[in-house]
Structure 1
Amino acid sequence: MKTFPHLTAAVMSLAVVTATPAEAAPGLVPAADREVVFTADGTATYGTLHVPAHRAGHRLRAALLLPGSGPTDRDGNQPPHAAPNTLAQLAAALDADRVATLRFDKYGTGRTGLGAYRDHPSELDYPAFVRQATAAYALLRDQPETDPHALMVVGHSEGAMTALLLGGSAHLRPAGVALLQPQAIRLLDLVALQLHAQVAEAARQGQLTPDQQRTIDAAVDAAVTALREHRPVDTTGLLPAVAQLFEAFQGPNGRFVQSDDAVYPPAAAAALRPGTRVLVTCGTNDVQVPCATTDALTAALRRAHVGGPGRVRLPGLDHLLHDTDHPDTVAPAALDALRRFAER
């Protein structure tokens, strides 16, 4: 299950070369990582700009990489417990196609931390993350190596929803938006769907009776309704772990949850510029955002007259873009879909 911690901003950049390979051929600038920092809503946000090897003076395609929910850092990790390196691996794959990338430590992670929200974390809402991503996009747009007319936004999970919003609002709209295993329905609908699936599996295994399953399902739906109506949640009938989840949703994470749940991604699709290249991936083994949750978004994208490749079903892939043959790395099928999307 997902975890939830939780437009124009002034941008200040500081670039320091942190890695330079061996000497390049004459006229070729070697690949390098630059540590960058930009300011969003008074918070210094830290990230990594990767510039592939390129001819001097040549402007590169570039992609902003956005992480999923929870305390997920610039590499796509939640240390110390989870280190799939999702975004770092996507950056490496895009480097092979000469695409520059920017990834950053969002609020609550890495060097950035909570920043301006340190003393009042409960005031951190979802729009703050969108503004932070918008500031990162402006930084990437203004780099001397990047082509401002060939920018892309690539988001994973919740970051895909942020990418969708950014694609419809950024100054100099992106040429492409990649939505990898996206949060494609309202947050609390997704949470309810995940919980119902877990309860059904517990009943299938004999851990719950049919009556218990019906009681818990009804309590979950009632809790979602209460949250949306700004009423206290009655946790009677909920399993202890589920009760704790909903208590957190109306406690320190309440503002974030309410503001995230207010976004309906299919409606946001209408703001995309017609012809924008859009990729939507769905893994058939993704239990967090099943393929069916992307149906309404896919239909909305068609109505918005965006370009392809559109939705790509990835057989056997889970939420982290892994399959049984690649349990610790992004599977080739996902990387191939991303590379096809990134082509001019």
Structure 2
Amino acid sequence: MKQKVTRSVLACLMALVISRPGTAQMSSPRMIEAPGPAGPLSGTALGPSNTDAPVVLIVPGSGPTDRDGNNPLGVRASPYRLIAEGLAARGIRSVRIDKRGMFGSDRAIPDANAITIEDYAADIQTWATTIRKTMGVPCVWVLGHSEGGLSALVAAQQPGGICGLLLVSATGRRLGDVLREQIAANPANAPIRQQAEAIITQLEAGQRVEAGNIHTALRPLFRPEVQGFLISTFALDPAKLIAAYAGPVLILQGLRDIQVGRVDAERLHHARPDTDLVLLADANHVLKAVPSDDRAANIAAYQDPARPLAGGVIEALAAFVQAPRKLR
């Protein structure tokens, strides 16, 4: 069923969720592991002790982003931890994870750069199997944030054990096109923009770029160690992936997002018109409320774990997961 949820509808959903009688008995956060290629994958489980409660697997976005949604490059907003806590308050369990080779999952592979998007998708499948066995659910909801949305879409091409997808701030275009737009949006990139676009084009063709031919300002983004991952990612079209998946999908996009835009959410929705589309006027990429188009204020919100999630985020996620439907 096609459903475009507006902020006014979300306010009604919030009232319905909050007015639900009874209080779930909460369990403390606990460590949980799944088997990785060379060592364990690690995550944190949170939620009510009720074994009938659904479980949401929270898949991180790009780069060195940890299970809370933070990274050492200056992001300290803790959006995944806040999502987990918000879902727990509404009777939904969650498992938020560290990607293979990083943080608590650092022993899973020797080199965190030696991966492809298909590897991350395989880990989602592994996590789904582990969660089903240890937490007693028939299937797992997969929440993919940003690049994690692409990993979720790839994993869902083998949908066994997946209840449905929650695509949050997820790209609907090929990553190369998104990256071109992000580079062009910053005037400071003007001197390196032409070379950046040429590198993207070469990687899209499946060809690596010699390190000596990369401008020093672009090396952190296109260094040789990550080019294999970029080649695998640039080859994927999220719109085609979502069209090939038949399960329930929520697409949630903040309209203050300076990394992924409304065009991405709408492209995904157009490819699967029966998906639920939620557009939140004030939410940025890390799901914090930003009341204006002030770029500096937007970026400052990335560093503020005390700032709550934008209104409507938890309400939309919880309402979608708890909606009556027949699941595989």
Which of the five TM-score ranges fits, normalised by the shorter chain?
0.7 to 0.9
Q: 1:245 to 1:111 in 2, by over 3 A?
A: closer
Alpha-carbon deviation of 1:29?
5.8
Q: Given residue 337 of structure 1, which amino acid in structure 2 is its aligned partner?
A: A
Q: Is residue 295 from structure 1 mapped to residue 266 from structure 2 by the alignment?
A: yes
d(CA) in 2 for partners of 1:30, 1:324: 31
| 2:119 is the counterpart of 1:148 | no
The one of 81, 92, 98 aligned to 1:105: 98
CA contact (8 A) 1:66 1:156 kept: yes
Structure 1 unaligned segments of length 5 or more: list them.
1-27, 203-207
Q: Please give the per-residue CA displacement for 1:104-127, whole angstroms capped at 9, x wherever unaligned.
A: 211232221153234xx5532222
Match in the other structure for 2:197: 221
* Residue 137 (structure 1) aligns with: 128
Distance in 2 separating the partners of 1:198 and 1:41? 39
How far the C-alpha of 1:233 sits from its partner, in A, is 6.7
Residues 203 and 230 in structure 2, CA contact (< 8 A), matched pair in contact too: no
The alignment yields a C-alpha RMSD, in angstroms, of 2.7
Q: Counterpart amino acid of 1:38?
A: A
Q: How does 1:49-68 map to 2 (within 5 A)?
A: 49-54=45-50, 58-68=51-61
- Please list every run of 5 or more consecutive structure 2 residues that lacks an aligned counterpart in the other structure: 1-23, 292-297, 302-306, 324-328
Superimposed CA distance per residue, residues 129-156 of structure 1 (whole angstroms, 9 cap, x where no aligned partner): 1111211111112234x4315x311111
Q: Partners of 1:253 and 1:280 in 2: how far apart? A: 28
Structure 1, residues 172-214: CA drift from partner, whole Å, max 9, x if none? Answer: 331x211110022222211111011113xx5xxxxx9xxxx5x
Letter in 1 for 2:48: P
In 1: Cα distance, 2:85 partner to 2:75 partner: 19
1:35 alignment partner AA:
M
Inter-partner Cα distance in structure 2 for 1:191 and 1:87: 23
The 3 A distance-change label for structure 1 pair 183 and 235 is farther
Q: Which residue of 1 aligns with 2:17?
A: none
Q: How many angstroms apart in 2 are the aligned matches of 1:233 and 1:221?
A: 15
- What is the distance in 2 between the residues matched to 1:244 and 1:269? 32
Q: Is the 8 A contact 1:37 1:46 kept in 2?
A: yes
Residue 189 of structure 2 is aligned to residue 198 of structure 1? no
**How far 1:95 moved relative to its partner?**
0.7
Residue number among 33, 36, 51 corresponding to 2:32 in the alignment: 36
Counterpart for residue 7 of structure 1: none
Change (3 A) 1:239 1:117: closer
Within 2, Cα distance between the matches of 1:75 and 1:158? 15
**In 2 relative to 1, CA 244–42 (structure 1 residues): closer, same or farther, beyond 3 Å?**
closer
Please state whether the residue corresponding to 2:61 is helix, strand or coil: coil
Q: Quick check: which one's helix share is greater?
A: 2
Give the structure with higher Rg (CA).
Answer: 1
Q: Secondary structure at the match of 2:239?
A: helix
Shift of 1:61: 1.1
Aligned to 2:172: 184
The change in CA–CA distance for 1:81 and 1:299 in structure 2 (over 3 A counts) is same
TM-score (structure 2 length as normaliser):
0.78
Shift of 1:78: 1.2
- Structure 2 residue 125 is the aligned partner of structure 1 residue 124: no
